Chain A
C-alpha cells in the first residue's frame, strides 16, 4: 500500500509526459495525497495499479483536465461579467438595460458613430428594408444621426411594408 493504513480514493496523471500520478488516499477521516512515479517495478506504482488500471488513470486525467478548464473558464466568465465586458443576453434585465443604453445614451464619441454605422448596415440587410420602394423613408434611415433616428426610420419602413 502506498500509504499504510489508508484506502485508495482516486488518482490521475499530473504531467503531459504521464510520468507522475497524483493519488489520493483516506484513513476514513482525512484525505491525503501521494505522488507516485509511473515506473514499472516501483512498488507504489505497482500497488496503485491494483486499485486503478492504466485506462482508468487516463480517463481520470482527462476528467481532471476538463474540470480544471471548466473552473478556469467559469472564473474568467465571472470576471468578464463583473467588469461589464460580457453580457448575459438570456437575462431579460440585461437586454432591457442594453436597449435603454443604446437608445437613450447621449454619446457623441467616434465609437458611438461607428456603432451607428454598423447598426445602419444591419438594418439595410433586413428584407423589409431591402424591399422598401419608398426612397424618402430609406433616405431618412441613411441620414439618421443617431440610433434613435435610425430605429425610428426602420420602424416606419416596417410599418409601411405591413
Chain B
C-alpha cells in the first residue's frame, strides 16, 4: 500500500465519521456539559428627584452592571460504543510483512496506520466533516444548524433608548448585538480509495466490498473518538485545542452620561445612562482537541 493510498483511506475515515459522528454537541436549556459563558452589560443608575434643584452627577447614582446572564447551553454527547470485535484476527486488511508473509493488521495496526491521523485531521481546527463550530447566523453553507436557540447572545445597553425626557428611564434597556449558534459540518464529498485485501475464513485473500470496508473504518473511528485515551475528540469552551468557528464576544459600553429633566419648579430629576464605546470584556471560543 503506497503512502498515497494510506492518506486516501485516512481521508475516507474523516468522511465516514462525518456521516455518523460519535461525539456530538447538542443545545440544551441549561446545565450543558461544556463550561458556561456570561453576557454582561451596563444599565442606568437610579433616577433622583429634587424639589429645589438638580442633584449633581456626584449625587446621582452611577450606572451599574446587570447581573451577568449565564449561557450554559452546550452539551457534548458521546456515543456508548464497545471495541470492534476482530474475530479470528481477520477483520482488518492484510499487509506484506517484508519477510515473505502476508498477514492481517491488528487493531493497533489499524489505529496507527489510519485512525490516529484521521483524528488529528478532525481536530485541526478546520471545518472537518462531523465536527461542530460556532457561527453568527442561522444558516451556513455546508453546515447544519443544531438549534435555532443561540448558545450565546452578546447584549449591550441600548444607549439610544435612554432619553432625558424619559427620566425616570427603565434601568435595564438592552439590545442584542450578536447571536451565536452551533453548526455541524456536513459530510463532504467521498474521497476515493483503493479497497485493500482481507483474509477470508478460508484463508484466501480477497478485496472487501466497498461498503464492508467503510463499515470497518467508521466503527474504528467512532470507537476511538470516544474511548481511546489520547484520541478522544473533546470540545470545550476556552480549553485546550483549536478554535471552531467564531469566538463569542461579551461586550459592554464603557461610559455614562448624566442627564437632567426639569418637570416643574418642584420637580428636578436626574439620572445617569450607559454610553460610550463598546469594549470587549471576554471572548469565548469553542475548542476541539484529542484527549
Contact = CB atoms under 8 A, between A and B. Distances in A.
Given A37-B247, A42-B242, A83-B260, A32 B126 contact: no
A20 B276 contact: no
A14 B285 contact: no
Interface stretch (A54-62, A72-80, A133-141): A72-80
15 contacts: A4-B140, A5-B142, A14-B249, A14-B280, A20-B283, A34-B135, A35-B249, A37-B283, A39-B243, A42-B243, A43-B125, A72-B275, A79-B257, A79-B259, A83-B260
Interface in B115-171: 124-127, 135-137, 140-143, 159, 164
Contacts of B136: 32-34
A68 interface: yes
A71 B277 CA distance: 9
A-B pairs, top 4 by smallest CB distance, nearest first, are: A35-B247, A5-B141, A34-B246, A4-B141
B255 A72 contact: yes
A43 B137 contact: no
A43 B242 contact: yes
B246 A69 contact: no
Contacts of B275: 72, 75-76
A32 B127 CA distance: 18
Interface of A: 2-5, 14-15, 19-20, 22, 30, 32-37, 39, 42-44, 68-69, 71-72, 75-76, 79, 82-83
B106 interface: no
A70 B158 CA distance: 18
Interface of B: 124-127, 135-137, 140-143, 159, 164, 178, 242-243, 245-249, 251, 255, 257, 259-260, 275-278, 280, 283, 285
A1 to B, nearest CB: 9
B126 A43 contact: yes
A17 B8 CA distance: 42
Contacts of B124: 43
Given A32-B137, A42-B242, A72 B280 contact: no
B277 A69 contact: yes
A4 B257 contact: no
Contact of B245 (A22, A34, A72, A76): A34
Contacts of A22: 249
A83 B135 CA distance: 43
Given A5-B141, A43-B124, A33 B280 contact: no
A20 B247 contact: yes
Contacts of A2: 246
A36 B246 contact: yes
B127 A4 contact: yes
Contacts of B178: 33
A79 B259 CA distance: 9
A14 B252 CA distance: 12
Given A35-B283, A68-B277, A72-B255, A4 B248 contact: no
A33 B176 CA distance: 14
Given A20-B249, A69-B277, A4 B126 contact: no
Contacts of A39: 243
A34 B143 CA distance: 16
B18 to A, nearest CB: 15
Nearest to A79: B257
